[in-house]
Amino acid sequence: MILSFFLFVLIILCLTFIVIPKRLSLLEILSIWMLVWILSYTSSSIIIVNLQYITVSNNISLFWALVFKRLCLSPLVITWSFDLILKHSSNLMITFHLLLTVIVLIAIDFLFIWLGILHNHNWNVIYSFTEWSCCVLLTYTFWIWYRKQLMKGT
**CA atoms of 143 and 52, how far apart (whole Å):** 31
Q: In Å, what is the CA distance from 102 to each residue of 27, 50, 81, 127, 151?
A: 23, 23, 10, 12, 27
Query: pLDDT value at position 48?
Result: 67
CA atoms within 13 A on the CB side of 79: 28
Per-residue pLDDT, 5: 84
Global model pTM greater than 0.85: yes
The sign one gets for the Cα dihedral 16, 143, 42, 126 is negative
Tell me how far the alpha carbon of residue 37 is from its chain's centroid.
Answer: 8
Please write down the long-range contacts of 50-59, taking CB distance under 8 Å and 24 or more positions apart.
Answer: 52/121, 53/121, 53/122, 53/123, 53/127, 54/113, 54/118, 54/119, 54/120, 54/121, 54/123, 55/118, 55/119, 55/121, 56/117, 56/118, 56/119, 57/116, 57/117, 57/118, 57/119
One pLDDT digit (tens) per residue for the chain, 154 residues: 778 888 888 889 888 888 888 889 888 899 999 999 998 888 777 776 677 777 787 888 888 888 888 889 999 999 999 999 998 889 999 999 999 999 999 999 898 888 888 888 777 888 889 989 999 999 999 999 999 988 887 5
